Each structure stands twice: as C-alpha cells, then as structure tokens.
Amino acid sequence: MIAGVVLGAVAGLDRTAFGQTLLAHPFVAANVSGWIAGSPDTGLRAGVLFWMLSAGRVPVGETRIRDWTTAAVVLPWCVPDTAPDAARGLVFLSTLVVALVGGAAIRGIRDVARRSIEGWRSRPVIGRGDPAALHLGLTSLHALRGAMLTALAIVIGRGLVALDLTTPGTFLGEIMGVTWALAPWALLPLLWRAHGDLGRSRAPWGWMVGGAVSALVLGLVLRGGA
C-alpha cells in the first residue's frame, strides 16, 4: 500500500503541478498502479473506464475539476484480479466519489495559491522573500493531496470489499455486477465524442471507423488462424 500512496503522490504532482509526463493520465496511472499492486487486469480495465470518463478534458485551467488520476490509482489496490465483478463495480462507483473529492481538493489548493500570491505581492519588495520557496511549497501541496487522498481511499475501498456487500445472488451483488459489465458501454460515447471533436473536420470519425474495422478484421483473422 505504501507503493500505492507514493504513486498517488507522484501522479498528483504530475497531473497539473510538475512535468505533465503522462503518468497522471488515468489510463497510464491505472495500469502502472495495477502492475505494482499485482492486479494488472483490474488496472487495465480501470484504465479503460477512467480513460473514457476523462476523455476530452484538458487538465489545465479546467472549470469542472475531477481527479480521475487518484481514482485510477486507487481501484487496483482495492480489488485483486480474482475479485468478482460485483466487487469491482462497487469500488468503481466508490472511486467516482474520490474523483469529486480530489477535484475539490485541487480547487482548494488553487485558492490557497491565490491568497498566498496576493499576500506575497502586497509586501514591500525587500520583505517578500524568495518566490521559489513559496512556489515549491504550493507545488508540494499537490503531492501531499495525492498521497493523503490515495491512502484514505484505499483504506475505505478495501473496507468496502471486506464488508462483503456484493455476495453473488444478493440484490446489491447483482446490481454491482451489472454496473461493472455495462460501464464501458455507457461510457464509450464520451470517448468517441471526445476524439471526434478533437478535429475541425469529420476526418477523425473516418479514422475511428477505420480503426474499428481493422480490429474486427484482425480479430477474425486471428480466430480463423486459431
């Protein structure tokens, strides 16, 4: 779990504060997290779902901030690959709350930054101090936010799984199993629209259809060969 918290801190920095090297992208974050946690299949599937949810959003200057990065890091640490789909569905829905809380925390840090910068500017030039110290302090808050939220969410998520609320055959178990199974279908339009809207022409739609047809043909060829 310590590795997960460290990953949450680094990804929290990478998301908007430092580097933006792609680690914070939900698809990458979930896969790396799943790899480290020993649940690569859950990581891959979580990555696909959070990729769809975050598609089309630019992590700079957002108005509706949602922290899909932390949500993507957390999920593979709560449900191993051997867990039933119902448990994955329950934790998936729970991590959506993580995304909302994380977004609110980012807005809070930015508000702290606004007040700190105003205070720094209002002082006489001689008494302002090194701007790099203030800058690094504010930057490190993003790592702290990522670490704390990841730790808290993993503990709560594992607690939810341990409660065994999603036993097969129960009402909640049925619903959560269906949620996990239907999730990519419900979220797919987000991904399609995001990539269709990236260009000003209809060309991306043609490329998308081309990619889908290629995958279908390849799949048929591979299955025919097998």
Residue 203 is encoded by which pair of tokens? 């060309």
Our CB check for another protein shows the closer of 159 and 206 to be 206
Our CB check for another protein shows the closer of 118 and 224 to be 118
Establish if 111 lies at the interface with another protein (CB under 8 A).
yes
Among 1, 3, 21, 97, binds another protein (CB under 8 A): 21
Please identify, among the stretches 1-9, 144-152, 156-164, 214-222, the one whose residues bind another protein according to the rule CB under 8 A.
Answer: 214-222
Establish if 3 lies at the interface with another protein (CB under 8 A).
no
In angstroms, give the least distance from the CB of 42 to another protein.
Answer: 11
Establish if 211 lies at the interface with another protein (CB under 8 A).
yes
Rule CB under 8 A: which of 149-208 touch another protein? 171, 174-196, 198-199, 203-208
Please identify, among the stretches 2-10, 13-21, 145-153, 154-162, the one whose residues bind another protein according to the rule CB under 8 A.
Answer: 13-21
In angstroms, give the least distance from the CB of 9 to another protein.
Answer: 14
Our CB check for another protein shows the closer of 85 and 155 to be 85
Q: What are phi and psi of 167, to 5 degrees?
A: -60, 130
Establish if 145 lies at the interface with another protein (CB under 8 A).
no
Within 8 A by CB and 6+ apart from 60, the residues are: 16
Biggest alpha carbon–alpha carbon distance for the chain: 76
Return d(Cα 186, Cα 198) in angstroms, integer.
21
Q: Give the CA radius of gyration of the chain.
A: 20
Our CB check for another protein shows the closer of 5 and 30 to be 30
Sign for the pseudo-dihedral over CA of 76, 79, 85, 90 = negative
Rule CB under 8 A: which of 26-65 touch another protein? 27-28, 30-32, 34-35, 40, 43-45, 47-48, 51, 53, 55, 58, 60-61, 64
Q: What are phi and psi of 18, to 5 degrees?
A: -145, 120
